[in-house]
Amino acid sequence: MGKHISYHESLPSTQKIAHKLADSGAEEGTLVIADEQTEGKGRLLRTWHSAKTGIWMSLVLRPKIPMHQAPQLTLLAAVAIVQAIEDTTSLLPAIKWPNDILINGKKVTGILTEMQAEADRIHSVIIGIGINVNQGLEDFPDEIKETATSLSIEEGQPISRTSIIQSFLKHFEILYNLFLKEGFKPIKLLWESYAVSLGKEIKASTLTGVLYGKAIGITEDGVLLLKDDEGEIHNIYSADIEIS
Ligand code: BTN
């Protein structure tokens, strides 16, 4: 992972470049990094604030796996980021389904996974990762000041972006090889050990409506299972989760 790095000072979005590189045959593990993004993309069609001092990167993968397994790679990436944060800081990161990494309850990282397929086969999976590293509170727009944080705010000192990227690539490679050999099971166990939402009462805002209930687990495909007050179990594929 990261043998080929495409580094840019400023880009609209690392996702766009990673897709282009993937289309023109870039090797698995190619990494696109930018110091700043002017049109950073978040989940659910949101924008992602990407000023200088954060890590904005997209990893090109070409897994030979069935298409329904691609979302599992998001959970795998979340585990690798948690391990990299643990390696390089004294912080205790936790994962909120599906892919937010929280420190002291505030969001420090987001992951956006996009897949390109040809017929029924995966052509490429692009894992986009945004990590707030050295921003101060004043660097965040007002609307996310209450809910976002950076590693340096939480640690109380600047953090090396290079150390985090190197550690992430090391952990990602180990987990990815394990995943290709043994499937999602060992990754799911690790993910669950870092998860904060499981077993809690949650509010899930999906594109089609809002659901309340208990997060009782995730499926083998990484889908969240929510049990409502009537005991009905709902499969949540994509949503914003609030823990009550
Ligand atoms: C989220 O909404 O939580 C996901 C945010 C993902 C942001 C990263 S930053 C690097 C890559 N490039 C983008 O435009 N988005 C992703």
Helix (H, G, I), strand (E, B) or coil at 141: coil
Mutate which of 100, 107, 112, 114 for ligand 1 pocket (most atoms within 8 A of beta carbon): 112
Task: State if residue 81 touches ligand 1 by the CB under 6 angstroms criterion.
Answer: no
Q: Is the ipTM, as predicted for this complex, more than 0.95?
A: yes
Between the CA of 85 and the centroid of ligand 1 the distance, in Å, is 18
Tens digits of per-residue pLDDT, 178-236? Answer: 999 999 999 999 999 999 989 999 999 988 899 999 999 999 888 999 999 999 999 99
- Ligand 1, atom 16: closest residue by C-alpha: 128
Contacts of 136-139 with C-beta under 8 Å, sequence gap 24+, read 139/51, 139/53
pLDDT, position 33? 98
Tell me, what DSSP letter sits at residue 26? P
Q: Name the nearest CA neighbour of 108 among 60, 54, 59, 32.
A: 54
Task: State if residue 132 touches ligand 1 by the CB under 6 angstroms criterion.
Answer: no
Q: Which atom of ligand 1 is nearest to the CA of 54?
A: 9
Spans of all domains in the chain = 5-194, 201-243
Task: State if residue 43 touches ligand 1 by the CB under 6 angstroms criterion.
Answer: yes
Mean pLDDT of the chain: 95
Rounded Cα distance, 92 and 168, in Å: 16
Q: What is the DSSP string of 55-106?
A: EEEEEEE---S-GGGTTHHHHHHHHHHHHHHHHHSS---EEETTTEEEETTE
Mutate which of 19, 20, 50, 161 for ligand 1 pocket (most atoms within 8 A of beta carbon): 50
The rounded radius of gyration (Å) of the Cα atoms in the chain is 17
**Token digits of residue 122:** 């995966």
Q: Name the nearest CA neighbour of 131 among 89, 85, 98, 166.
A: 85
Fold type of domain 201-243: SH3 type barrels. (2.30.30)
User: How far is CA 181 from each of CA 11, 65, 71, 72, 169, rounded to the nearest angstrom?
Assistant: 35, 11, 17, 14, 18
Between the CA of 129 and the centroid of ligand 1 the distance, in Å, is 5
* End-to-end CA, the chain: 38
Contact assessment for residue 130 and residue 71, using Cβ atoms and an 8 Å cutoff: no
Task: State if residue 37 touches ligand 1 by the CB under 6 angstroms criterion.
Answer: yes
Task: State if residue 41 touches ligand 1 by the CB under 6 angstroms criterion.
Answer: yes
Tens digits of per-residue pLDDT, 21-68? Answer: 999 999 999 999 999 999 999 988 889 999 999 999 999 999 999 998
Question: In this structure, which CATH number among 3.10.129.10, 3.30.930.10, 3.40.50.2020, 3.30.70.2660 belongs to the domain 5-194?
Answer: 3.30.930.10
